[in-house]
């Protein structure tokens, strides 16, 4: 396999990892911020109840992040292959 193919595979896997993982991560962070802002507002209005537990990731978000990690590891593997082959 040509060294440039290793580099191309690394780039494609890295870009795929970004596009798979970034939306899941931003959804989780946005939901966490939104819940915290709602809780602060209710506390300011004097209507705050018991503190809710910290929001966790949905199963879909977890799957997307696991896939992104696997793709990122594949990108690192291909990058090592590029440096080894060239």
* Rounded Cα distance, 10 and 38, in Å: 42
Q: Among candidates 1, 16, 3, 7, which has minimal Cα distance to 68?
A: 16
- The reported pLDDT for the residue numbered 42 is 75
Tell me the residue range of the domain where 44 lies: 3-48+56-85
- The reported pLDDT for the residue numbered 74 is 97
Domains in the chain, number: 1
- The reported pLDDT for the residue numbered 11 is 97
Token pair for 72:
């990122």
Answer whether residue 50 shows pLDDT above 80.
no
- The reported pLDDT for the residue numbered 26 is 95
Whole-structure pTM value: 0.79
- The reported pLDDT for the residue numbered 19 is 97
**Is-contact 3 86, C-beta < 8 A?**
yes
- The reported pLDDT for the residue numbered 1 is 64
């Amino acid at each position: 396999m040509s060294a440039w193919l290793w580099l191309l595979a690394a780039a494609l896997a890295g870009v795929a990892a970004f596009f798979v993982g970034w939306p899941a991560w931003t959804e989780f962070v946005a939901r966490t911020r939104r819940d915290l802002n709602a809780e602060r507002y209710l506390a300011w209005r004097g209507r705050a109840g018991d503190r809710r537990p910290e929001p966790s990731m949905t199963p879909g978000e977890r799957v997307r992040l696991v896939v992104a990690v696997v793709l990122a590891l594949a990108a690192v593997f291909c990058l090592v292959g590029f440096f080894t082959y060239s």
